[in-house]
Chains A and B, each alone.
Chain A
Amino acid sequence: MAAHLKKRVYEEFSKVSQQVTLEEVPAKKLRLTKPSKSAALHIDLCKASSPTDALQHLLNFARKPVEAESVEGVVRILLEHYYKESDNSVRLKIASLLGLLSKTQGFSPDCVVDDAINTLNSEKSNQVLAQLLDTLLIIGSQLPDKIAVIQRLIDVACKHLSSTYFGVRNKCLQLLGCLGTVDKPLSKETDTGPGAQTSPVRDVQSVISDFFQDQDPRVRTAAIKAMLQLHERGMKIQQTIYNQACKLLSDDYEQVRSAAVQMVWVLSQLYPESIVPIPSSNEEIRLVDDSFGKICHMVSDGSWVVRVQAAKLLGSMHQVSPHFLEQTLDKKLMSDLRRKRTAHERAKELYASGEFSSGRRWADDAPKEKVDTSGVNLIDSGACGAFVHGLEDEMYEVRISAVEALCSLAQSSPSFAEKCLDFLVDMFNDEIEEVRLQSIHVLRQISTHITLREDQLDTVLAVLEDSSRDIREALHELLCYTNVSTKDCIQLALVELLKNLTKYPTDRNSVWKCLKFLGARHPTLVLPIVPELLSTHPYFDTPEPDMDDPAYIAVLVLVFNAAKSCPTMPALFSDHTFRHYAYLRDSLSHLVPHLRLPGRKQTAGSGLEVSGVGSGSLESAQNFLQDSLIRVSALHNLETPGAQDLLEFTIRDLQRLGELQTELAGSADFCATYLHCQLLLTKALQEKLWTMAVPLCLKQNAKVSTAARQILDETYKLEFLYSGLETQQIATIHNVRLQAKALQLILTARSKQGVDRVLGVCEKFLQDVESFQRLFMIELPHFQDSFVEKLLELMPRLTACKPLDLVKILQTTLRQSRFIHLKLPEQIHRASATIIEPTGESDNPLKFTSGLVVALDIDATLEHVQDPQTTVKVQVLYPDGQSHIIHPKPGDFRTPGPGRVRLITQVYLSHSAWTEACQIEVRLLLAYSSSSSKQSVSKPAWNESMDGLPSSESCIEGTIHLSKPVKVFIMPKPTRR
């Protein structure tokens, strides 16, 4: 063996030296192969004088990747050194390298297995032994199909389980967990070592569970983890270990407890319905209930890590019986041995008795009945008050996970949702904002199950004054979905929201939206308070309120939305209310619904008309869209007279349709833009310049080149601005883009002299065509007679011919090619953004000292933007043409709902001094990169992060305007000295 190895090495040596000699001859061009890794390593290791030296070489070696072909050689070298090496640390490193190398893609490590197992037998150092087992683990996980190999590995692991060193036992358990199988007992016929003989036929699970009682906590942890690993790999774990796992819950070590909690949880999910006895009584309960109780107990564990884990896991135990579930919120209060009611109970009673907070007297919460001393259970064996503890925990991590668990349990059980309401509302008052926010979100999620009582609503509404914008907006969102019980609640909510509005005017939109839903949800509750809200009087005319007052608009939004499903309400309106309705319906149409107003002719008439369109409008609009597309598709040749007119009209129709029907806006816009591209292309091709001589066509040239440029831009928009596109559409867009590029190429060829320049452009174009073919191979059948198809047919000729010939071919193909019809996909959404703030209305310039910075708050909503964190940028354009692009932090993007993203960020402005205040423009951009839309290139397994970064930077090709620009007055003043 060794001789063979040496031979190999020397072969490689000789190769290297040969290359070196060849290199010295400059005249010949040679393809150099890299010097062999294994040889270089061998030299290094042989040269190494001390173990430290050798270790250094190995470390250096580990930093560089190794190709799959040379792995085996390297492994041999390493093994050879391994046998020779006496230093533990070097052997350890070699062992770890072996593992690392076996992970190399394209290398099958079966050939290493024998050697690795051999080394294991002769190894004395425990640490190295552990590392070798780790290596075996890696090898084993690379070869999941080789049952014989895995069986051997398992045998080896079983043999070393009796080691005295914890690390070895750990690794053995890990190996068993990752590779072992439960269904088969560890077969006896393969037993080679003495370990297998002493133990009778046992399966992996019982072997692992023996180590639940190991003396070393690390081994106990490893044993549980191995068991969990088995479970993760889909093995069926037996219920027998349940009791053992439960015992581990009271282990002294936090890591063991933490793993044990998971184990118990897994078992409870596997055998929820099996029955376990309660110790110290002869009753029996379901396993899931028993484990629920035990995990609840862990919520008051000494270590917060365990507490977090327990609280999290509780949330996923949906099968638990409601009786146990409700106990988690139970906490019997007692004062001087007398039963006391909780504040929650008192609040509920107060509410039920019709009495409102009278101001509590000293002895109001005085305890009432005597508690039977024997009946009080201070330490609760079971779920009692688990969430009460969890929500009061010192660490906010625990509180957050408790809130989340509450949420997920409440979603599956309405009665529990009702019960946990009080506790969630209490959490609105937490000291940490994240917890408050989370509990508001949670309440929103379970709000379908609950109706808020007045006193609860009161507490909820108190949070509206919070200075954090996120909290307020989350609360508005919550109010949108809440049900309240009485008309007083509505009034209370309105009053608080108006207070909020005066305190934080920037919340305007959010408050209005909130009131819209509140009104629409509770029309019958709003009805009795309408006169009061609109301050109308049965006899007297009241002054007409100011239409620009946001508070008044807020009230109107509430009333109008309620009136939508309450036809009697408009009778209560006064004259000016109707006028204001008409105004608001126009200006804030997204907030004010259409109303059928009796006795108001014009409005009623126009209303009917609108409603006629409104009913079934979606269907008809869809039909219209289809019809227009079919009509256009009837055109085969755009050069026929009238065809262009038809296109123009269709584009106009589609654009109008998009404005009318918001649901179809995406599709309609998409089609319109596509058709526009086609139109531009046709027009460009019809220009006379093609027949003219080259020198004469310069003027015409400009027009066509702008058209080409425009088409290119539009295609980028088509590709990146719309979401929901299928590959076929993308291919169609690419086809158009190729056409535009071809057009550009022809123009360059015609206008510029000299072949060299054209050569580069041609090569680029051909590359584009090739990449099209690569990407859209499957779609090609749809492209009969198209430009691309023709090009691909001519491809062999194109690559061979000269640039000028190429241009000629392109010119003819362009003119002959057919217009490709667009197939509309199901759902297309156009990405859009609106900047809410700054509004651009302010006349007061932002003043700051030049050279320093000023922060400008930006608040924008984005819709249907994919992956906004990486693509959305803010552009600031100064009057002198300077433009800055700012990347907002990922944390500035919030997602209030599906498909919607909110960007709240600050951009820093700076400039040298101006004499006068001047406007800058702020807008949002969508950055795109042509390569990112394609399949991402998989990285090599062996690190190389350095190369990854710049490539991702370089492929950003451009930006699309995503929002309308907003103008902001700024005034940098010169510094005073």
Chain B
Amino acid sequence: MPEIRVTPLGAGQDVGRSCILVSIGGKNIMLDCGMHMGYNDDRRFPDFSYITQNGRLTEFLDCVIISHFHLDHCGALPYMSEMVGYDGPIYMTHPTKAICPILLEDFRKITVDKKGETNFFTSQMIKDCMKKVVPLNLHQTVQVDEELEIKAYYAGHVLGAAMVQIKVGSESVVYTGDYNMTPDRHLGAAWIDKCRPDLLISESTYATTIRDSKRCRERDFLKKVHETVERGGKVLIPVFALGRAQELCILLETFWERMNLKAPIYFSTGLTEKANHYYKLFITWTNQKIRKTFVQRNMFEFKHIKAFDRSYADNPGPMVVFATPGMLHAGQSLLIFKKWAGNEKNMVIMPGYCVQGTVGHKILNGQKKLEMEGRATLDVKLQVEYMSFSAHADAKGIMQLIRMAEPRNMLLVHGEAKKMEFLKDKIEQEFSISCYMPANGETTSIVTNPSVPVDISLNLLKREMALGGPLPDAKRPRTMHGTLIMKDDSLRLVSPEQALKELGLSEHQLRFTCRVLLHDPHSDTDTLGRIYTHLKSCTISKQRQGPAEGKLRQGELKGN
């Protein structure tokens, strides 16, 4: 039986280091090639030796597909392609291709220049790697080779995030990457057609969460910022450079516009400016509102948001500042935080999750005195707010996607095992399809039932149509008679006569005879006559010759 095999090298019952191997119809595909942010050793990258023990990557893999530009989905790409060695095609969408190298370069700088690691990929390697990338458009079917085709669907989440459908013959797999089923301020919701794949590989970060409406959170956020600014306070929003930062910018920008506010908003420069540039370019990947209004004004050309300069932090009066990094553990955001922490009029809004040990985590837990380096303590008097803006689908969203795509099997990755368990039960219960959740390195096989295409001659089809019943029942299966010819990799269904002709055979007729002994008192002719009339009354036969010369021929007896 044909089967689809899936082996997660990362992201199996885990978040981070997404990397999934799929074998389908004799093709091997790698979905995402990410790194784990939590480790600094070898565990950081997926274990490519799983593949390389049998030879080079290029020989094994037919293609690599990257769903979006987050490092846990693309961080190991240069390592794999340049250091491990892979020369095949890498597929990603246009925005991902544009933004991905920026992030990789930034990541490289931090690890190599700041942490002083050696044996890491270089800028040149990133460039070489990106040369192997083939860009994808939404809903464009790309033929990787003659049998393998891939197609990208919109996934929300971040700019350029895509879900991918992989198809070999009639077997297909859909990989979602990270996706979001509720639209936000700058991106739309994920969408897929009823493609009925054999397997749907879905992320399950929020497998056990059903989230509240986005509007409430937005309103809270805006209200808090607005109140603080009106009081004359300063607002600090620590963010990571890409993704949520743009959403918050749009949110504040439109709010400022709507409410006619005058207080300045700053964005600490660097990475972000470059990224904003790409957001401006890829307007088609954003949501309805931005797409519709960009003719008058591109929403990413911020009117109220200006570049930040270090000296502005001491300016009097209200302001809002976006600064990196998001967890307040270093850099500009921490610098500004130190300056503003003493004033209770000010406010810091943490828009995302903070790792234990960071300043962000401490203040979120209500710590009022922070120990800084050099034994100095810092009194935290400013208000601390937490606002979660996450762009993953919640449990309902995942179910909604399953309903949209109608897969035959389901496989969960990118989530915690315990949470997956819950969702798995639910999926099996609601949709009665089987659901899998392999751990890293564990292989799951899914038996498929691919349909085999057969060419049928038009004449035969027409003849059968003419024989068949009324048309409205055309969706039901129907039996038909014909000859199946299997020749040079192709299957054809033709009429028997045609088959004979093609094969150069002559028609043979088989006649089955059997002898029945009758004990009858009547005379021979009488008996014959009686049998004839009896047969006539109870059978429908094709050919019958009347009683003649003491013989009765009966061809093809039917009936009782």
Contacts and interface: CB of A to CB of B under 8 A. Distances in A.
B183 A429 contact: no
B211 interface: yes
A332 B474 CA distance: 44
Interface in A374-390: 376, 378-379, 388
Nearest to A360: B385
Nearest to B185: A431
A360 B220 contact: yes
A378 B426 contact: yes
B143 interface: no
Given A336-B208, A337-B208, A392-B183, A359 B383 contact: yes
B216 A344 contact: yes
B383 A465 contact: no
Nearest to B289: A431
Contacts of A344: 216
Given A343-B220, A373-B425, A426 B386 contact: no
B430 A395 contact: no
A333 B215 contact: no
Contacts of A431: 185, 254, 289
A162 interface: yes
Interface stretch (B234-242, B257-265, B491-499): B257-265
B422 A337 contact: yes
A426 B219 contact: yes
Contact of B399 (A379, A394, A503): A379
A332 B210 contact: yes
B213 A394 contact: no
A162 B365 CA distance: 73
Given A379-B403, A426-B213, A431-B185, A359 B208 contact: no
Contact of B212 (A333, A360, A466): A333
Interface string B452-485: 0000000000000100001111110000000000
B379 to A, nearest CB: 18
A335 B183 CA distance: 20
A164 B208 CA distance: 51
Contact of B422 (A300, A362, A373, A467): A373
A334 interface: yes
A388 B383 contact: no
Contacts of A362: 350, 364-366, 384, 386
Interface in A489-518: 503
A362 B348 CA distance: 12
A590 interface: no
Interface string A380-410: 0000000010011111100000000000000
Contact of A302 (B193, B218, B289, B422): B193
Interface stretch (A69-77, A211-219, A521-529, A614-622): A211-219
A334 B210 contact: yes
Contacts of A468: 258
A433 B298 CA distance: 17
Contact of B218 (A210, A337, A394, A429): A429
Interface in A340-375: 340, 342-344, 359-362, 373
B215 A429 contact: yes
Interface in B261-291: 287-289
**Quick one: which of A164, A210, A362, A468 has the most chain B CB within 10 A?**
A362
Interface in B406-442: 419, 422, 425-426, 430-431
Given A342-B212, A343-B216, A394-B287, A302 B404 contact: yes
Nearest to B475: A215
Nearest to A499: B230
A432 interface: yes
Contacts of A334: 208-210, 395
Given A379-B430, A394-B189, A503-B260, A426 B364 contact: no
A466 B289 CA distance: 18
B183 A432 contact: no
A835 to B, nearest CB: 25
A427 B289 CA distance: 15
Contacts of A210: 472
B112 interface: no
B151 interface: no
A332 B211 CA distance: 9
A329 to B, nearest CB: 11
A462 interface: yes
A331 B210 contact: yes
B471 A162 contact: yes
A252 interface: yes
A373 B422 CA distance: 7
B121 interface: no
B217 interface: yes
Interface in B359-404: 364-366, 383-386, 395-396, 399-400, 403-404
A429 B365 CA distance: 30
A211 B217 CA distance: 48
B260 A335 contact: no
Nearest to A359: B383
A459 interface: yes
Contacts of B56: none
Interface in A448-496: 459, 462, 465-468
Contacts of A342: 212-213, 216
A392 B422 contact: no
Nearest to B224: A359
B191 interface: yes
B214 interface: yes
A393 B189 CA distance: 8
A438 to B, nearest CB: 15
Contacts of B260: 465, 467, 503
A246 to B, nearest CB: 16
B188 interface: yes
A863 B427 CA distance: 61
A32 to B, nearest CB: 56
Contacts of B289: 396, 431-432
Contacts of B254: 431
A392 B383 CA distance: 30
A252 B194 contact: yes
A214 B476 CA distance: 11
Contacts of B258: 465-468
B256 to A, nearest CB: 10
B222 interface: yes
A393 B183 CA distance: 7
A808 B105 CA distance: 104
Interface string A720-753: 0000000000000000000000000000000000
A332 B394 CA distance: 12
A426 B258 CA distance: 16
A394 B290 CA distance: 12
Contact of B213 (A359, A379, A391, A466): A391
A214 B385 contact: no
A302 B472 contact: no
A442 to B, nearest CB: 16
A339 to B, nearest CB: 10
Given A214-B472, A337-B422, A431-B254, A359 B385 contact: yes
Contacts of A333: 210-212
A216 to B, nearest CB: 9
B444 interface: no
A393 B289 CA distance: 12
Interface string B218-260: 1110111010000000000000000000000000001001111
6 contacts: A342-B212, A378-B210, A394-B183, A426-B213, A430-B215, A459-B219
Given A214-B471, A468-B258, 15 more contacts: A164-B471, A214-B472, A215-B475, A302-B194, A331-B212, A331-B213, A337-B208, A340-B212, A344-B216, A373-B425, A378-B395, A426-B219, A429-B215, A429-B219, A429-B222
Interface of A: 162, 164, 210-211, 213-215, 252, 300, 302, 331-337, 340, 342-344, 359-362, 373, 376, 378-379, 388, 391-396, 423, 426-427, 429-432, 459, 462, 465-468, 503
The 6 closest A-B pairs by CB, nearest first: A343-B216, A394-B183, A215-B474, A362-B386, A362-B364, A426-B215
